[in-house]
Amino acid sequence: MKDRLDILRGRHDPLPTATGAALRRQLTDLADEVLLELFGDPGPGVALVAVGGYGRAQPAFGSDLDLVLLHDGARRDITALADAIWYPLWDAGIGLDHSVRTIDEANAVADEDLKAALGLLDARHIAGDENLSKDLARRARSRWRTRAPKRLPELAAAVAERAARLGEVAFLLEPDLKESRGGLRDVDALHALAAAWVAEVPSERVLAAAEVLLDARGEIRRLSAGRAQDRLLLQDGTAVAEALGYADSMALAHAVADAGRTISWAWDATWYRTFAGLRSTSRWPGRRPVRRPLDEGVIDQGGEIQLALDAEPTKDPILVLRVAAAAARTGLPLGRYAVDRLAREAPPMPAPWPPAALDALVALLATGDAAVGVLESLDQVGLLVRLLPEWAAVRSRPQRNPYHRFTVDRHLMEAAARAAAFTRDVDRPDLLLLGALLHDIGKGFPGDHTDTGIEQVRRIGPRLGLPDEDVEVLVAMVRHHLLLGETATRRDIDDMATIRAVATAAGSDRILSLLHRLTEADSRATGPTAWNAWKARLIGDLVARARALLDGERVPCPPRLDDRQRALLALPDEHVVQVNPLPDEGMFEIVVVTADQVGLLAVTAGVLALNRLDIRRASARSQDGRALLQAAVAAPHGRTPERAKLLADLRAVLAGTVDIAERLAARERDYAGVKQWTTPGPPQVLFDDLGTTTVLEVRAPDRAGVLFRIVRELSGLRLDVATAIVATLGLDVVDAFYLREADGGPVADEARRAEIAHAVLTALGGRADSDATAAPAGTSEPAGNLPGTGSGATTPATGVEPRADPSSEASAIPA
């Protein structure tokens, strides 16, 4: 008995080769055997019934046993019988969700408790009076059906509450496979709708998706030694994947995401029909649904998009897109009959597409948010891949980082939806929408996602019926879809070389405008922190300057020293520190004025780091022996930087009474052991030539005072750092430094560059060999998209994208 209880608890695993359904069967049989032995033979009028997950025969290691000790009300020894079952299980550490009730009592509780009512729908007899168990199950199901108008909205509210609280299985880095939207609880909810006789039983696709989640949950519980853990942690992905036969953790994540989307879509579609049926029955009993024509072959029937009686899907390949566009335009869901019939009968789209087909696709995308749900429906029944075969490569493809909220395909849908808000801002709204839908299509194929995306668009564009000149515009949008965001946040947008490079890359006002709106749509579709007023202003300024250059107008760049900066440099105080709020939430300008000296930028960076201020951009100017440093910083938790403390710290550091390096190292030791999503890669450097200035780009794990360490080494090498731009990408920083030699010239000598790379990499704890100046590989956003013509500006291969916090991306402080 003890050994069997230890197995159920997860303390002992004699079933190392059993996984999936086989493991669940063995655990169910084991639990049943233990309970049969504990129950014994007490005679008639009492039964032991499994409910909930155990009733469905879906236990995992450490699962609670959901049990009802059922009696007829005539047993005087029922308490003793219960104690004989419960106490051995409690003593063994087995979790119980238990009750002792008559049939009437069980149903009375279920009337008030949704969880209890759902549990009874899965009642399974284990031992004792089988007729008693059957009667409970029959009456519980009958009561569920008769009370459906009241209980089903309660069920839907519970599903919605869990979704809002726990997110979606498909789009979480560490999803709760049981409770999150698209998880196992939602499958139970679908079964509950079927038990009420208002919906069909879940389809084979839904049941297969549930098996994926159940299998993964079983291995999660095994790894956690039976603890109540239903979340697929990143650290467990490889072990779970290996146990279940997936190629790697990414393949497992892909399967889990796909399963979650299948289940959540099934719930949405099923509940809509259920709710519509409940509403129509209660409001207009016996009334026949009204049919309203919407488009050729498309009607609104009873609040759903359906096919007209004379529609012939086999002869009308464009019907799919007309149906989809009508659904998005009206906000009505696709009727299941129409979707299933189109999935069975719709022929392939001819190549090239007829103009009406492309018009319908653009009309669908132009509806914005409404298009997302429609595209999801097309995707779930295989119609989206039939229209765009390349879509198969990005379907449910995880991006595995907190920067990107969605899988690749859903990100593309969301980007198109966000782009719909800007169709009046560009002269080719159709190309903006198509570019947004396809800008990351290369992420489903091997190699750099920009390069492979260009290849795919060159195939897709002509097939859609686009003329060559429009295909080239789409290609330019894919090639440069990262250009504005990366340049604005990683380069000095006041530098004419930067502006000229962006203008040259765009080549025309049309493409520049399309890239501007694509950049915002892409960022907004990435995640809640990927777009903010700071980034919007930077990109807007960069676009305005590049457009002026393209149009032959004066480029609106600030002078090297404006009147305010001259006035600051003329202040008589030995040390000046100012804290000025910036128009962007949580951002401040820190001004430091003091005597010009080597290493002042490093000192300032160190002081700001000590005060837990995240530097986004820092620039240094000097005149007549005085130095002016301006830094744009983000203050955490909404606090305002303390000017007096900054000034005191600056004086102490300049006087040599505070060791910045040691203070920052102590803070780093304090944060050692804090959980990270992944292990960051080693530091890397890249040199880029911009006319008379050399840009040093450093990618390194984010640590306290990284900027201080880098600038300290550059100062020690007698280099002038005119501007420092800081981007934080999750666990990494991408810092760009505009360097000049002491004589004012660029850093052109290769031996000198190697010396700089060695010093920086050594300071950051990285390797300092001859490969150090290569462009960083395995990053998501190619360095080659940034302006620059130097030999170092190469495009690395694409790998797993680093997690990013766009609210921490680099920005330019206004002069």
CATH code (residue 69)? 3.30.460.10
**pLDDT score for 807:** 31
Tally the C-alpha atoms within 13 A of residue 590's C-alpha that lie toward its C-beta: 29
Contact present, 440 and 781 (Cβ < 8 Å): no
Please state whether beta strands 96-101 and 65-71 pair in parallel, antiparallel, or not at all (unpaired): parallel
Please indicate, yes or no, whether residues 459 and 371 belong to a single structural domain of this protein. Answer: no
Residue spans of alpha helices (H) in 551-599: 563-569
For residue 591, give the nearest of 537, 627, 555 by alpha carbon: 627
Range of the domain at 59: 2-146
Please indicate, yes or no, whether residues 397 and 346 belong to a single structural domain of this protein. Answer: no
- Going by the DSSP 8-state scheme, the letter that residue 181 receives in this structure is B
Whether residue 280 lies inside any domain: the answer is no
Which CATH number characterizes residue 473's domain?
1.10.3210
Residue 640 to residue 634: CA distance in whole angstroms: 9
Please indicate, yes or no, whether residues 528 and 612 belong to a single structural domain of this protein. Answer: no
**pLDDT score for 393:** 96
Please indicate, yes or no, whether residues 592 and 659 belong to a single structural domain of this protein. Answer: yes
Whether residue 133 lies inside any domain: the answer is yes
Which two tokens mark 470? 């429009």
Residue 611 to residue 425: CA distance in whole angstroms: 42
Please indicate, yes or no, whether residues 341 and 415 belong to a single structural domain of this protein. Answer: no
Whether residue 813 lies inside any domain: the answer is no
Whether residue 112 lies inside any domain: the answer is yes
Please indicate, yes or no, whether residues 708 and 644 belong to a single structural domain of this protein. Answer: yes
Which contacts (CB < 8 Å, 24+ apart) does range 224-230 have? Answer: 224/10, 224/62, 225/10, 225/11, 225/61, 225/62, 226/9, 226/10, 226/11, 226/61, 226/62, 227/10, 227/62, 228/62, 228/95, 230/176, 230/177, 230/178, 230/179
Contact present, 735 and 724 (Cβ < 8 Å): yes
pTM of the model: 0.85
Could you report the per-residue pLDDT of 76-97, keeping only the tens digit for each? 899 999 999 999 999 888 888 9
Whether residue 152 lies inside any domain: the answer is no
Domain boundary among 509, 524, 550: 550
**pLDDT score for 286:** 54
Domain boundary among 114, 146, 178: 146
Whether residue 402 lies inside any domain: the answer is yes
Whether residue 730 lies inside any domain: the answer is yes
**pLDDT score for 4:** 67
Q: How many domains does the chain have?
A: 5
Please indicate, yes or no, whether residues 585 and 638 belong to a single structural domain of this protein. Answer: yes
Whether residue 725 lies inside any domain: the answer is yes
Please indicate, yes or no, whether residues 609 and 639 belong to a single structural domain of this protein. Answer: yes
Domain boundary among 366, 387, 408: 387
Q: Which residues of the chain have pLDDT under 50?
A: 282-284, 674, 677, 769-784, 788-815
Please indicate, yes or no, whether residues 373 and 398 belong to a single structural domain of this protein. Answer: no
Please indicate, yes or no, whether residues 265 and 139 belong to a single structural domain of this protein. Answer: no
For residue 436, give the nearest of 516, 498, 495, 379 by alpha carbon: 516
Which two tokens mark 139? 């009456």
Please indicate, yes or no, whether residues 569 and 504 belong to a single structural domain of this protein. Answer: no
Please indicate, yes or no, whether residues 174 and 213 belong to a single structural domain of this protein. Answer: yes
Could you report the per-residue pLDDT of 299-351, keeping only the tens digit for each? 999 889 999 999 999 999 999 999 999 999 999 999 989 999 999 999 999 99
